[in-house]
Chain A
Amino acid sequence: QKEVEQDPGPLSVPEGAIVSLNCTYSNSAFQYFMWYRQYSRKGPELLMYTYSSGNKEDGRFTAQVDKSSKYISLFIRDSQPSDSATYLCAMSAREWETSGSRLTFGEGTQLTVNP
């Protein structure tokens, strides 16, 4: 079983729709949760970063973390064609300094927003 599960999609929605992207995980030690956005043939860019449980909002984007259910979500309101990309969740637990940062990524969900 993978540590992080993410539905690869593809997900296709009309412009203006509310998009919900989700990941589940099995490692209860994870406490840092991120969402990355990756346009085709580009490197991923950090979109949202949260620590532990709760919600975080940034413009049209809201990240939710439910540690009790081991479930994280990214909501996109008023979706735009420019939101069309692959969205990857990532998470980590603290590790010893000499071992460096470690992130466990989901496989990514491909989203298309149709005008």
Chain B
Amino acid sequence: SQTIHQWPATLVQPVGSPLSLECTVEGTSNPNLYWYRQAAGRGLQLLFYSVGIGQISSEVPQNLSASRPQDRQFILSSKKLLLSDSGFYLCAWSPSATNEKLFFGSGTQLSVL
């Protein structure tokens, strides 16, 4: 069966520090991968998605970037965090480009102070 791992679960970082969140998927090949952000009291905002290694699409211009160095690995990064980057970050995958079902990781609660 397929599983998705996302870490860390909680992160507290000072303003201006770098960020690296990692997500890996097991039990499938060539998944579509996604990074979402969920702010308190708000819906899910799609940040990045990837349909293959090295292929990244950005949905929202911002202080963040994403990379996919391996087929089942997706990384969310920032060189300098802003206060507004605080939120709940979710990695997700879908089996193929035509399958609307998303499967989410457990999330990372990021607090930028």
Contact = CB atoms under 8 A, between A and B. Distances in A.
A101 interface: yes
Interface in A35-90: 36, 41-46, 49, 88, 90
A103 interface: yes
A107 B43 contact: yes
Contact of B107 (A34, A41, A103, A107): A41
Interface residues of B, number: 28
Interface stretch (B13-21, B60-68, B73-81, B94-102): B94-102
A8 B41 contact: yes
Given A100-B49, A100-B51, A101-B32, A44 B97 contact: no
Contacts of B50: 100
B100 A92 contact: yes
Interface residues of A, number: 26
A98 interface: yes
Interface string B33-68: 010000001111010011100000100000000000
A88 B44 contact: yes
B111 interface: no
B7 interface: no
Contacts of B100: 32, 34, 49, 92, 101, 103
28 contacts: A8-B41, A32-B100, A34-B101, A41-B107, A41-B109, A43-B6, A43-B90, A43-B105, A43-B106, A43-B107, A44-B104, A45-B104, A46-B101, A46-B102, A46-B103, A49-B100, A49-B101, A97-B51, A99-B97, A100-B34, A100-B50, A100-B51, A100-B94, A101-B94, A101-B102, A102-B46, A107-B42, A107-B43
Interface of A: 8, 32, 34, 36, 41-46, 49, 88, 90, 92, 94, 97-103, 105-108
Given A8-B41, A41-B107, A43-B104, 18 more contacts: A34-B100, A41-B88, A42-B106, A44-B90, A45-B104, A46-B102, A90-B102, A97-B98, A100-B32, A100-B50, A100-B57, A100-B97, A101-B94, A101-B97, A101-B98, A103-B102, A105-B43, A106-B43
